[in-house]
Amino acid sequence: MQAETVSLTVDFSLIIVTAVTLSYIAQRTGQPTIIAYIFTGIVLGPVFLNVVSETVIVDLMAELGLGFLLFLLGMKMRIDDIREILRPIINIAVWQTILQTALAFAVAWLLGFTLVETVIIALATVFGATPIIVKLLTDKDELSTLPGRIDIGVLIIQDIYLVVLLALLSAESLGSTSEVALSIGTIFALIAGIGAFSYISSKYILPRLFDLVADDQESFLVVGIAWAFLFIAVAEQLDLSIEVGAFLAGLSLAQVSYTSELTERVRPLTDFFMVVFFSSIGLRLAADQLFAYWEEALIASALMMVGNFLIMFGLINYEDFTPETSFIGSINLIQVSEFSLVVGAIAVSRGFVDLDILGFLSLMAIVTMALSTYVINYNYQIWSRVEPYFARFESPDKRDVELRTYRDHAVVIGYDDVTKRVLPRLKESYGDVVVIDRNPGHLEFLQNSPYEYIYGDFKHGELRKAAGIGRAAFVLSSSVEPDVNWTALRDADEDALVFVEADSKTDAVELYRRGATYVIISTALTADQLAATVESYLVDPETFRREITRDRTTLGGEIDG
């Protein structure tokens, strides 16, 4: 037993160290870290070094990794973000799923795969790479743009389809058409039941629950994870996959005010489990399995990327969006996602296909995700080059929906007596005011105020991007923490007015050096006010007493004597 424990410790150490090393290389070359995780398993498994093998513990951790991946995915699915364009998004997503599945089926069939293999490949390759797309668009500050919201809406519909597909593949029996139909009906009924509870809890249970624990950061995280495991346990009791429960748990959390902060706290744990999950895929493959269909994988990758773009462009353009929106929204979704490996891995475990097909899907995912990363990073530059060729799609009837986005607004960091008094003036001057605050005691007031409110720590990058600090015309920080104010100055637009606080003249000098418009030195203001008050008493005691009497009257007589 002790030898097994040492072996597991060594295996996990090798996985983590290799994943960190390859992730660093991936980030330096602009690649998604998920590719690094897959390569971790390939390097450590039978393809190259063969020093780590799958075990029961690795399998369990990998399964939890898949669950937490879907949990984190659910927490990013805010319905309010796409409500304004929900109808065209549903049309686009439904037809995209149908047409892309048909395209993948045709490509796989023409490449010579069997009927069962073709069906699995077609089902597996319909999804966009949600974590990668969300991360890249967030980094580029394009998530709130119209193409970004169209993509996110399509991904939400795809992810719901993914959850149903995973539940179906995990069903006990799929031997006949009637059994498949019964399984699908049962799955939809169970998902609807859990989904209804998820919706009700997001309205009435979760806000009160997090209100109770928001002051305790450890309990805050534990409650979030416990909520995920509650749904996972219920899903398993109902013979659904853990992915269904995890996704619906995340979806319910996505609709409450605490989501952004909780997402940032859950992310490190999710990243760890994801390392093990995607590494485990590489650990399963031998070299001959990974490269068994390498020519077919390259051909299929090229055809699917082009086909996916044409399908999406046609569908978005049909909904009367402008050619630019149609192009950007389409080119962001050309990849075969990591979820193809999820579907492939489950299909292998159920005996529907062998590991050669998982190797084929792995190569497709690696190739298309690697290429699409560069395409997304340079999407608008590509559009500027090809725009003349899309002029034929211009029409007076094509008009983009006006979405509400934060621009030339005010961002306020922290809610206290100082910021409370200036918020009405900022609202009057800038229209939109976004307040970032992590004090749960302010939650009820700010939620019912005329200001937009984000709960969480300003140090978390996702929260700053959600507030649109890079597009703000005015930034006010009531924090005296130097790193908070340095971050605000770094992220703010160079033309923005940035007012920050400091508790020493040394910090104030550094903040001015970093570009602050005005630094409020709270201790200096207090000292100046005290000195002026004492001086006014010494110069004219009678006038001073009259002013003190007036101040006490203004305070409503709350001061005695």
pLDDT in tens, 27-78: 888 777 777 888 888 888 887 888 877 666 666 776 777 777 777 777 776 6
Identify whether the C-beta of residue 282 lies closer than 8 Å to the C-beta of residue 44. yes
The b-or-e profile of 442-477 (16+ CB within 10 A means b, else e) is bbeebeebebbbbbbebebebbbbbbbbbbbbbbbb
pLDDT category, 300, cuts 50, 70, 90? Answer: very high
CA distance 213 to 199: 21
| Beta bridge mates, 366 | none
pLDDT band at residue 382 under the 50/70/90 scheme: very high
Q: Same domain for 459 and 311?
A: no
Residues 190 and 267 in one domain: yes
Please indicate, yes or no, if residue 299 is contained in any of the structural domains.
Answer: yes
What pLDDT was estimated at residue 102?
Answer: 93
Q: What is the mean pLDDT of residues 261-273?
A: 78
H-helix segments, 170-214: 177-200, 206-213
Q: What is the pLDDT of residue 353?
A: 87
315 with 341, same domain: the answer is: yes
Q: What is the reported pLDDT for 555?
A: 47
Q: What is the pTM of this model?
A: 0.68
Which two structure tokens, joined as six digits, stand for 233? 């346990």
Residues 132 and 199 reside in one and the same domain: yes
What's the average model confidence in pLDDT over 98-113? 93
What average pLDDT does this structure show over 474-500? 88
Burial zone of 245 (CB within 10 Å; 0-12 exposed, 13-18 middle, 19+ buried): buried
Cα separation of 36 and 20, whole Å?
A: 8
> Does residue 1 surpass a pLDDT of 50?
no
pLDDT band at residue 171 using 50, 70 and 90 as cut-offs: low
Question: pLDDT higher for 240 or 18?
Answer: 18
- Domain co-membership, 385 together with 427: no
Mean pLDDT on 183-200 = 72
Q: At what angle do helices 294-318 and 355-377 cross, to 10 degrees?
A: 50
Query: Would you give the DSSP letter of residue 214?
Result: T
- Domain assignment of residue 537, yes or no: no
CATH number at residue 433: 3.40.50.720
| Angstrom distance (rounded) from CA 60 to CA 276 | 10
Task: Give residue 110's pLDDT.
Answer: 94
Look at residues 365, 393, 421 and tell me which one is the last residue of a structural domain.
Answer: 393
- What distance in Å separates the CA atoms of residue 258 and residue 248, rounded to the nearest whole number? 16
Look at residue 558 in the predicted model and tell me its pLDDT. Answer: 45
Using pLDDT thresholds of 50, 70 and 90, give the confidence band for residue 79: low
pLDDT at site 54: 62
CATH number of the domain to which 384 belongs: 1.20.1530.20
> Structure tokens of 270?
């999710």
> In percent, how much of the chain has pLDDT > 70?
81
Number of domains in the chain: 2
User: DSSP states of 435-459 as a string?
Assistant: EEE--GGGHHHHHTSSSEEEES-TT
Q: Of the given ranges (120-129, 154-163, 366-375), which has the lowest mean pLDDT?
A: 154-163
With respect to residue 262, please indicate whether it lies within any of the assigned structural domains: yes
Indicate whether 122 and 195 sit together in one domain: yes
Domain boundary among 393, 422, 457: 393
Give strand pairing partners of 455: 437
Q: Is residue 532 part of a domain?
A: no
Domain co-membership, 220 together with 111: yes
Residue 449 lies in domain: 410-526
- In a domain, residue 313? The reply is yes
Residues 304 and 437 in one domain: no
Does residue 111 or residue 265 have the better pLDDT?
111
Question: 340 and 312, same structural domain?
Answer: yes
What per-residue confidence (pLDDT) applies to 105? 94
Q: Does 543 reside within a domain?
A: no
15-24, 49-58, 142-151, 522-531: which has the highest mean pLDDT? Answer: 15-24
| All residues at 6 or more sequence positions from 269 whose CB lies less than 8 Å from its CB, including other chains | 68, 225
pLDDT class for 437, splitting at 50, 70, 90? confident
Q: Let me know whether 117 and 205 are in one domain.
A: yes
Does residue 517 sit within a domain? yes
Q: 327-363: buried (b, 16+ CB within 10 Å) or exposed (e) per residue?
A: bbbbbbbbbbbbbbbbbbbbbbeeebbebbbbbbbbb
Could you tell me if 71 and 153 lie in one domain?
A: yes
Average pLDDT in the 80-106 region? 83
Task: Please tell me which residue, 511 or 106, carries the higher pLDDT value.
Answer: 106
Is the same domain home to 188 and 324?
yes
| The predicted structure's pLDDT at residue 392 | 83
pLDDT (tens digit, 9 = 90+) per residue, 389-404? 888 888 777 666 655 5
Residue 551 maps to a domain:
no
